[in-house]
């Protein structure tokens, strides 16, 4: 059960569009090959007023999307490279952003570190 924590930089005074979290969840599920209800997304908007790059950064119109991916286990590097490329492209399409503005971080594997309903998930159980 992949969990994505997504932070989307938005123009000042605007939030994330209605239905965006569902669209990201569906796009990510297509990449991960997960059945309905098994890919979770937490989506947060970040005003462009609260985003900066040192030295003035790049184009002032750049509105990146930051994604943290939590999974039970991580795929071997060649498979992970394909997955991250497909995930970045899918999220870029849904968010209407250039793929080079989608930044993805895979957190360490969750097996033995995450609990649902007070029950620790162990090896062999999906997360």
pLDDT-derived band at 107 (thresholds 50, 70, 90) equals very high
pLDDT reported for residue 98: 95
pLDDT reported for residue 126: 54
pLDDT reported for residue 116: 86
Residue 55 phi/psi, 5-degree rounding, is: 70, 20
3 and 42 in contact (C-beta within 8 Å)?
yes
Task: Please check the confidence at residue 99 and state whether its pLDDT lies above 90.
Answer: yes
What is the distance between the alpha carbons of residues 115 and 97, in angstroms, rounded to a whole number? 34
Task: Please check the confidence at residue 125 and state whether its pLDDT lies above 70.
Answer: no
pLDDT tens figures, 22-78: 999 999 999 999 999 999 999 999 999 899 888 876 676 789 999 999 998 998 999
What is the distance between the alpha carbons of residues 79 and 68, in angstroms, rounded to a whole number? 18
Q: How far is CA 81 from the centre of its chain?
A: 15
């Amino acid at each position: 059960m992949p969990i994505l924590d997504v932070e989307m930089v938005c123009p000042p005074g605007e939030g994330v569009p209605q239905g965006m979290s569902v669209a990201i969840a569906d796009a990510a599920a297509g990449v991960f090959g997960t059945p309905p209800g098994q890919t979770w997304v937490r989506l947060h908007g970040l005003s462009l007023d609260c985003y900066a790059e040192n030295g003035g950064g790049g184009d002032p119109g750049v509105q990146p999307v930051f994604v943290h991916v939590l999974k039970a286990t991580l795929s071997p590097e060649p498979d992970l490279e394909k997955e991250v490329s497909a995930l970045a492209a899918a999220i870029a399409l849904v968010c209407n952003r250039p793929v080079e503005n989608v930044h993805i971080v895979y957190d360490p594997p969750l097996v033995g570190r995450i609990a649902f309903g007070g029950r620790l998930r162990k090896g062999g159980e999906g997360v």
